[in-house]
Every structure is written in C-alpha cells, then in structure tokens.
Structure 1
Amino acid sequence: MKRYGYHRTSTREQHLDRGINEITSYCQTNNLALEKIFTDQQTGKNFYRPRYQVLKEDVLREGDELIITEVDRLGRNKQETLKELQYFRDNHIRVKILELPTTLMDISKLDNSMAQMLMETVNNMLIELYAAIAQAEIEKKEKRQREGIEAKKARGDWDNYGRPSIMSDEEFMFEYRSLLAGDINATGLMKKLGMSKTTFYRYVSRINSIKNSQGQ
C-alpha cells in the first residue's frame, strides 16, 4: 500500500503551500509514510488536469490511499466529484479528506457490520453535502462574473474587458493531445469540450504559435 496526496488551486496566483503543508503535517503527526503530493493549478469545474490524470491513471493502485485537504480541492462540480470518488471506491483506493475527520477513521476496525454501515453512510452524506456546497460556491462566483460582464457591457466597457476564455491553454493542450494521437477527430473534440468551430481553431492557432515560439 502506498500513500499519495493531491492538492489544487484555481490559479497560479494562489499558493499551493498551505495544502501541501496540511497533508505533510497530517502524515508526520500520524507517522504515515507519504510517497508524493501531486498538484495542479487549474479550475475545479472539471477534471482535465494533467497531474491529477497522471495520479489517477498511472500511479494509484488497488489498496493505495489518497489524501486531500478539502472536497473542493478535488473538484467543484458535485456530480463529477462524486463520480471520481466512486471510481476510487470501486478500485479499492481509500480517500482521506482532512476537513472530514470521519473519513480518517478505519471503518474496517469497527466492532460490527452495523456500525461500519452507519459510519459509511455518514461519510457519504457529509461528502455529498460538502460537494454540493463547493458547486454552489462556484455557481455563485460565476453568477457574479456574469453580472459584472453585463454591467460592463451596459457601460460600454466590454471592449476593454475582453471575452473570457472557456479553459486555459494548458487544459486545452491536455485534451488536444488525444486528437494528435488519433484517438478522436476534431469534430468529436469540439463536442466534448463544448466549443464552437471558431473557438476551437482559435485555441489551436494559439497553441501552435506557442510551440513555434519555443522552437518545438
């Protein structure tokens, strides 16, 4: 059994140190060996994150443990986050969430099956509640952003503000690799990412410009 940590911030301006320190401190206090902490600095609305995908698909194995500080550090989309947690359960990978102390308990050591079932039910309810709160917070933030954009349009400041991107260049490049590998065609990728043809090829052009400037 191996133990890994995962932490995420939404932007590069936010520091990863706090989450990394919390995970490290928990393991040191409880004398638990920690292999590595994986980090991303990208949105929590989806799971198109390079380091998370490496951790999930190439590193974690049956019997391993994954430690996160809070539910929303895993993701802010309730249904997608619950789906990821179910994936870990199905593959017998234990997830510990530091903000939910009941997830840190070893349920298998409880005296009887009824107690185990009750504790598992409590954990599931708490996780679903926290996931719902995380999604509500991001929806509230997006609502404020939309209202701000509409206010700028009404004042005639929209041209100075500019139209926001659907996703970061790093997120797009992560998905675009599947097209380069021949796993999906352009139409299929546009549909998957929810992009119009114009937006999709604007990203492609930008990615190609970056690669050319780097001499790749």
Structure 2
Amino acid sequence: MTTILYARVSTIDQTIAHQEAHARAAGFAIDTVVSDEGVSGVRVPLAERLQGRRLFDMLRSGDTLVVRWVDRLGRNYQDVTDTIREFMRRGVIVKTVINSLTFDGATKDPMQQAVRDALIAFMAATAQAQAEATKEAQRAGIDHAKANSEAKYRGRKPSYSREQFDMVRDMLGQGTGVAPVATATGLTRQTVYRIKDDPVASEAALVEWRL
C-alpha cells in the first residue's frame, strides 16, 4: 500500500515543496509526490491534467491519496465530487492535511455513507465558492491598484506571499483559528488578522507589488 501526495499550484508564487512539507509536518509518511504546476483547478478537471492522469493510473485499492485540501483536486463542485467518489470506488482512501478529513469507501453502513457523502458535497461546494470569492477579491485588488497607479508610494511590501495569502484564506474559510493558521503558514498572528479583517486590501497589496 502506497501513500501518494498530490500537489497542485496555479501560480509561480506557490510551491510544491511547501505543500509536501506541510503534509509531512502533519505526520503523513509520503512515498510519492505527484504534482501539476501552473494548472487552474477551476478550468481544468483532474483527469485532464498531465499528472492528474498519471495519478489515476497509479492509485490502487488500499492506497492513500493525500492532498493539502480538496481544492487541490479541483475548484469545481462536480469535478471534485466525481473524483473523490471514483477514487473511493477503487478502494483508495482520500485524506486532507487541512482539517484532517478522511474519505473512505469501505463503510457499508448507510448512515455513515450519508454523512460522508454530505461532507464531500459540502467541501466541494466550499472549494468552488472560495474560488469565486478569490476571483472577486483579485478583481477588486486590480481595480484598487489601477486607481492608485499614479501614486509614487505603494506602501510597505507585503510580508506574505501569494501562496501564504491563499492558504490563509482557505484555512480561515474552513473555520480554522488564527493561531493554527499562523503556525501552518509561518506568518505572525498580526499578519493573519490583517488578511482576515481586510482581504481586499491584502489582495491589493500583492497586486501593487506584482506578487
């Protein structure tokens, strides 16, 4: 039985290494890392990604698939739910680093199946909703940057990267407390609070500094 980490990054500011380090720090013994870089989770289904296709070929019954969160599989409700259910049908256990969720197709109890399937649906819907919210925040950030493009002073350079910003938004969206988010991202609590309290301005700062 093999434990495979699937990592996906969609921008140059995100890194596969960070997702792997986060998974190992959470206690996962990773045998193999499969990753797609520069791939949108909204527009490109997992089965159509180069390494996503490889992942479908590699996983066997009894294997464990680890992802930072379900949004690494995709940010489209139908794609994510179909993907997780397909893996479960194959006997693959799907686990997330954030929130320590486990999706296992082994249970035959109808009540447990109902709870599991409802959780999958909720997580997939949340992933899509967050993608849409992030897109709106980016649009607002770009508008803000354009409106202030003539200003000579851009303010202090953000103390967080695009990947850290996305991770903070993801974890806060799942109800994770500020302290655990700060620990997981390597940011100070003050920085996490700043992103939490004004995500549009935080996004705008990244855009203004082209981060």
Instruction: State TM-score, norm by structure 1.
Output: 0.55
Report 1:54-203 matches (<5 A): 54-56=54-56, 58-103=57-102, 116-143=109-136
Q: Which has the higher helix share?
A: 1
- Could you list the structure 1 runs, at least 4 aligned residues long, displaced by more than 6 angstroms after superposition: 104-107, 146-152
CA distance in 2, matches of 1:136, 1:40: 22
Classify 1:137/1:90 alpha carbon distance in 2 versus 1 (closer, same or farther; 3 Å).
same
* Conservation of the 8 A alpha-carbon contact between 1:102 and 1:123: no
CA distance in 2, matches of 1:99, 1:105: 17
CA distance in 1, matches of 2:88, 2:12: 31
Q: Percent identity?
A: 29
Classify 1:22/1:122 alpha carbon distance in 2 versus 1 (closer, same or farther; 3 Å).
farther
Let me know the Cα RMSD of the aligned residues: 3.1
Classify 1:104/1:136 alpha carbon distance in 2 versus 1 (closer, same or farther; 3 Å).
closer
CA distance in 1, matches of 2:31, 2:90: 19
AA matched with 2:40: T
* Conservation of the 8 A alpha-carbon contact between 2:87 and 2:93: yes
The structure with the larger Rg is 1
Instruction: Say which SS state the counterpart of residue 75 (structure 2) adopts.
Output: coil
CA distance in 2, matches of 1:146, 1:61: 41
AA matched with 2:84: L
Classify 1:18/1:151 alpha carbon distance in 2 versus 1 (closer, same or farther; 3 Å).
closer
Match of 1:53 in 2: 53
* Conservation of the 8 A alpha-carbon contact between 1:2 and 1:64: yes
